[in-house]
């Protein structure tokens, strides 16, 4: 049972028990296993385990940043809605979306989310005494590409990127670029992803932030 949180609903507890039976021995570390179980629970699909990838120490880095007060920055309002309740129940992380900084109209050759994340990155990293944001990308591969470009150009890296954009245009390229970067990240290979899944991955880390043993 997690310290500081109310008891899980019996349906959730039973769901996780069944998921563990279905998955068997994954060989993942404890935090990685937590993330996988939440993704399976949210998707209803144990085969998602075949797509999940972690850079070394990604979960630990994200957990440490959340405990130290990092902002959670999302690409959509849907992703923000997926993570805000758990953020409030645990370490009270501030949840923002790149749309707060996005222009009303997309510039030619770009997208609102790409422009928004670049502006957000400048704004949110003015105070270097706070960890860089934990970034959730579930819908906007252009935002993921722009963030990686910004970091490559010398900007502060994210504490963690949960990179799971969904779809068929630009998605595979953005995930490939994330995989080849030095950026700490969690990603799903292929075309799978979405706001619910990035929220589930972040929620696993937020739940771990209030456990006695995490």
Max distance between CA atoms of the chain, in angstroms, equals 51
Beta carbons of 74 and 198 less than 8 angstroms apart? yes
Strand boundaries in 9-155, DSSP class E = 52-54, 72-74, 95-97, 134-137
Beta carbons of 189 and 134 less than 8 angstroms apart? no
- Reply yes or no on whether 9 is catalytic: no
DSSP string, 114-147: HHHHHHHHHHHTS-TTSPPPEEEESS-HHHHHHH
Residues constituting the chain: 214
- Active site residue: 41, 96, 119, 156, which one? 41
| Cα three-residue angle 64-5-209, rounded to 5 degrees | 5
Cite the active site residues.
Answer: 41
């Amino acid at each position: 049972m997690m310290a500081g949180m109310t008891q899980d609903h019996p349906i959730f507890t039973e769901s996780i028990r069944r998921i563990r039976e279905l998955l068997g021995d994954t060989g993942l570390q404890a935090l990685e296993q937590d993330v996988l179980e939440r993704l399976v629970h949210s998707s209803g699909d144990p085969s998602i385990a075949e797509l999940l990838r972690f850079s070394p120490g990604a979960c630990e880095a994200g957990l440490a940043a959340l405990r130290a007060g990092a902002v959670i920055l999302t690409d959509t309002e849907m992703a923000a809605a997926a993570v805000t309740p758990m953020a409030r129940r645990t370490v009270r992380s501030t949840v923002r979306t790149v749309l707060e900084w996005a222009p009303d109209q997309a510039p030619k050759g770009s997208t609102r989310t790409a422009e928004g994340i670049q502006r957000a990155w400048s704004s949110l990293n003015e105070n270097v005494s706070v960890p860089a944001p934990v970034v959730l990308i579930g819908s906007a591969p252009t935002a993921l590409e722009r963030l990686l470009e910004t970091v490559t150009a010398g900007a502060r890296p994210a504490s963690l990127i949960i990179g799971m954009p969904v779809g068929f245009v630009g998605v595979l390229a953005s995930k490939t670029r994330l995989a080849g970067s030095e950026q700490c990240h969690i990603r799903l290979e292929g075309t799978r992803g979405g706001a619910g899944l990035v929220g589930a991955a972040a929620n696993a880390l937020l739940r771990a932030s209030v456990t006695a043993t995490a």
